[in-house]
Structure 1
Amino acid sequence: MLPNINQILHMQINSIDEEESKIEYKSRIADMSDEAIVMEIPLNENTGRLKKLYLGDELSAYYISQGGIKNYFNTSVIGFREDVIRLIMLKKPEPEAITQIQRRSFLRVPAELEIAVKFSEQLQFVAVTEDVGGGGVSFICDGYIPLNVNYVISCWVLVPFKSGTIEHVPLKGEIVRVKLLETGRQLAMVRFVEITDRDRQKLIRYCFERQMDLRKN
């Protein structure tokens, strides 16, 4: 399902500047063509300032459709159009390249990924996930680590894709449950409390790829 004219498009710029890549912008879709989504100049959602885009800029975008479903896709600036105001032409995604996800029903898949956890300034460790989703993650770690429910931790998850690329996804999560395992280790279940939509999209895409692999086996 593609977006419609007058819908709001939310986006982040895929930038090597970490701070820039976290900024969220929004814009109104002014027109559609066979090749392009045509939008107005985007605004910084926090400051209200206009953001100048350049030919070739790559974006991670989403729009919200009926039922509160977020529709994620990647795109790039392919041109400009001069109207009453300057408009930006984005490459239209193929419908099958759009990932639909309902805000409260993130797909969760079993996966053993490396996760670096910063519990405090004095305690940082590397663990392995048991499952991963767009809304949370579970990981297994040594039993001596003093995990506490409701504690907020900083994490970086190493996410490999079928394309061969590997992404580091930073996030903050709240520990919602801790379970002691028979091995003496412990399982921590974490709910995301701070993650950019761009990074959440990476996890969602990994989950879909992982689910496809699991179905084949």
Structure 2
Amino acid sequence: MFLTIGTTLTISKDSNEENNEQFKSKVVDTGDDFVMIDYPVNIETNRTTFFIDGTKLHVSFVRNNISYSFKTEVTGRANKDIPMLKISYPGDKKLTKIQRREYVRVETAVDVAVDYRGVIQQFVADDISAGGIALNLGPNDTFEDGEKVKLTIALPFINDEIKYINTEAKAVRTWKKNERAIASLQFLETTSKDRQDIIRFCFERQLQARNDA
């Protein structure tokens, strides 16, 4: 089974509603056709959520730097050391692989430290997704296409928590946006946990944008 104990899950209700809330949870036990998860926490409010039996959900997770998703349903609950929800699992062969282009990309001005040719430089992002990041460049900043750099990205969450993402990236292209130079970088070595944190951050920013609209 691709899902193992400790895997972080991103959950939403299987609904076509525009304002579809996002939740996070972790796998605490597995079976042949089911998964036990801890009670999901709303990503925006950080409050625990209680789903009744029969609630249909959409779940995504990362394994070996590849994101997968599946549809499921709450089928029960248990209370051992912690309260748990039981959800159905369709099996590894019925998972949907999420392509890199399908990652949510959000515009955000987060701080990024770049180790470029052995020199640490500070940049501000233009946008970010779980697949890569775009940086605002100064007049003397340049990246050669295909060149590898090391990044440290500071992600500030709604609950005032800050996650630091350390990853290697490759410069893909440099382009212009409103007369500003932008460098697009593709992530090369991102842990499953870091990738999940980026996805969570992007969902939070998406929800904020909808609420502010």
Q: Tell me which interval the TM-score lies in, with the shorter structure as reference length.
A: 0.5 to 0.7
Are residue 172 (structure 1) and residue 168 (structure 2) matched?
yes
Alpha-carbon distance in 2 for matches of 1:29, 1:94:
10
Query: Which amino acid counterpart does residue 168 of structure 1 have in structure 2?
Result: Y
Tell me what 2:111 maps to.
Answer: 114
Q: Deviations over 1:95-138 (max 9, x none)?
A: 9xxxx9823310001000000000111x2201000001010100
Structure 1 residues 180 and 167: CA distance shift in structure 2, 3 A: same
Are residue 207 (structure 1) and residue 202 (structure 2) matched?
yes
1:149/1:176 contact within 8 Å kept: yes
Are residue 196 (structure 1) and residue 197 (structure 2) matched?
no
Query: Which amino acid counterpart does residue 192 of structure 2 have in structure 1?
Result: D
- TM-score for the superposition, normalised by structure 1: 0.58
The total of aligned residue pairs comes to 154
Alpha-carbon distance in 1 for matches of 2:85, 2:168:
32
Q: Percent identity?
A: 22
Structure 2 residue ranges without an equivalent (≥5): 9-27, 38-59, 71-78, 89-95
Alpha-carbon distance in 2 for matches of 1:143, 1:170:
26
Alpha-carbon distance in 1 for matches of 2:172, 2:104:
18
1:140/1:186 contact within 8 Å kept: yes
The secondary structure found in structure 1 opposite 2:145 is coil
Alpha-carbon distance in 2 for matches of 1:33, 1:63:
18
Structure 1 residue ranges without an equivalent (≥5): 1-6, 15-26, 38-60, 72-77, 81-88
User: Structure with the greater relative contact order (CA < 8 A, sep ≥ 6): 1 or 2?
Assistant: 2
The secondary structure found in structure 2 opposite 1:211 is helix
Structure 1 residues 9 and 155: CA distance shift in structure 2, 3 A: same
Structure 1 residues 63 and 189: CA distance shift in structure 2, 3 A: closer
